[in-house]
Structure 1
């Protein structure tokens, strides 16, 4: 068949599939959201939570969850319409041509694909980020403010936005340029080289994040010498956890939500406690929570997830290598002549989304399984009662959803609902 006929009458099968699948996913998730939202109209506590929260606490949780759910209806609808509109209005080919024309007006030739790709990303991503700002403002200064969680000012909000854009640009653009260079340079072998590069990049980012990036947003200090520090160090020593640093971070500068996490590779592990967690929980409760977090490390959950992620990366790029020059894919989305690598990645990620959703569901299921195992590990250390108390305290302080819909939580949640966790912690080994 004459190629000119294909250009004049391109097959839109890939585009139609993307729009239909995206709409089906949105519709299904909307149904789950409606099921979830109906739970927030419940006024009377179920027997399973009567011992956990008072009527007043339950109503506060319900009000917060209901407000977030209403917001999610509008936000998800907007995001879906925006995504589909970008595809159907052929915004991507328009911006690609526009970025190429701008470069040529500055003297760049038509072979500057990597530079054009970086310009394209900036032209596309910056407006999309600005479009999201009103939603972020509403969520932060209306919903979070209403329920007592927001602690940041407008100045700090916009400062964070600018810092985030700057940091993502100075890190993301060079990484993208190297990624595109590897794909173009190493031919059929590029999936291996891409995987190696991204793996090294992850290690580098974990190393430099606490030193260079986190201080741009939060003040991090070593946890002061005292009983809490001693208890944590004793627990780490008991489990032979290679603790190198123990930090507290001023999360309260932005939000009243609490958190704690562990990061680092090999013999350089660090524990970070949000100051809000230190304020909300007793020292024993904090240690019990860290018993749970250290359970993830002891049971190799992080390594297993890392392995799964690395396998997924190399499989995805191997599949991309097979289809990256499928002309019909490009033509379907309005790219009638050029087949740039970056655009190929974007279009492939769209077509790969059915697999992505399946993988996301599996990861959430596996994550919930790991959470139960980590709870059980903390329980084996003798913290069952205190961990239950800590979970209840954090649930109350964070106004967590205490009556989730079973379908919604199965599909979306990476952590089991608190009632299930408390029930599991209450069981004896014989059960």
Structure 2
């Protein structure tokens, strides 16, 4: 009798979910305490403590719902074999687009594109609620709905621009790596991390955030 690997994976995921939920419940119970901790007496006011506690409670409630939906979706996807089914459909899409289904790079890119679309769709309601309900309720949201979707669009465009070359390179390394596959992959990821560390603050971060230079004068904290 074959070992039920899929059931074991789903069961382990659910077990981890229950354990993390137990820890979150303990933290949630601590957030309900209205007394200012002794270590914070004289550091922050009772009013600021109450505001922080209310915000944390809202985030905690939201996290419970988000994590529950996530584990249900992930378990269903694994249990009902959605990923293998979608892999086959991705191959059909590659053929429909006029390419060879046996092209592993194109097949993988089509599969990952579908996964990204699914992820964006399922996560969008939670992102909207977190940003425009919870964050706005506590005065932390400065983003308009236009800016939200503009940043979302920019993120998708970056994924389309950067994802295919990286994924293609990894697949080629796996195909051609031979006995030195692990070394080649490590070297590629090391170089990639250095390149991204260089490009991110110069080209990527400014797409989503506005940076202004510090005013001239002594640096903060300088003696």
1:29 maps to which of 13, 16, 20: 20
Q: Check if 1:154 corresponds to 2:153.
A: no
Name the residue aligned to 1:199: 190
1:224 Cα shift? 2.2
Name the residue aligned to 1:175: 166
> How far apart, CA to CA, are the structure 2 residues paired with 1:207 and 1:54?
42
> How far apart, CA to CA, are the structure 1 residues paired with 2:157 and 2:189?
21
Name the residue aligned to 2:116: 125
> How far apart, CA to CA, are the structure 1 residues paired with 2:62 and 2:68?
10
Q: In the TM superposition, what whole-angstrom CA distance separates every residue of 1:297-340 from its partner, at most 9, and x where no partner exists?
A: xxxxxxxxxxxxxxxxxxxxxxxxxxxxxxxxxxxxxxxxxxxx
Q: Please give the secondary structure, in 1, of the residue aligned with 2:212.
A: strand
Q: Check if 1:184 corresponds to 2:184.
A: no
Name the residue aligned to 1:47: 38
> How far apart, CA to CA, are the structure 2 residues paired with 1:65 and 1:157?
23
1:26 Cα shift? 0.2
1:111 Cα shift? 2.2
Name the residue aligned to 2:105: 114
Name the residue aligned to 2:55: 64
Name the residue aligned to 1:87: 78
> How far apart, CA to CA, are the structure 1 residues paired with 2:93 and 2:38?
65
The structure with the greater share of residues assigned to helix is 2
1:219 Cα shift? 2.1
Structure 1: where are the runs of 5+ without partners? Answer: 1-9, 232-282, 288-381, 383-431
Q: Please give the secondary structure, in 2, of the residue aligned with 1:108.
A: coil
Q: In the TM superposition, what whole-angstrom CA distance separates every residue of 1:169-193 from its partner, at most 9, and x where no partner exists?
A: 2112210110011001112211100
Higher alpha-carbon Rg: 1
Q: Check if 1:218 corresponds to 2:212.
A: no
TM normalised by structure 2 equals 0.94
| 8 Å CA contact retained: 2:135, 2:141 | yes
Q: Check if 1:104 corresponds to 2:86.
A: no
Matches within 5 A, 1:243-282: none
> How far apart, CA to CA, are the structure 2 residues paired with 1:98 and 1:11?
27
Structure 2: where are the runs of 5+ without partners? Answer: none
Q: Please give the secondary structure, in 2, of the residue aligned with 1:221.
A: coil
Q: Indicate the structure whose relative CO is greater, using CA pairs within 8 Å and at least 6 residues apart.
A: 1
CA 1:26–1:113: 2 relative to 1, 3 Å? same
> How far apart, CA to CA, are the structure 2 residues paired with 1:105 and 1:59?
58
Once superposed, what is the RMSD of the aligned Cα atoms?
1.6
The structure with the greater share of residues assigned to strand is 1
Runs of 4+ in 1 over 6 A off after TM superposition: none
Q: Please give the secondary structure, in 2, of the residue aligned with 1:32.
A: helix
| 8 Å CA contact retained: 2:101, 2:107 | no
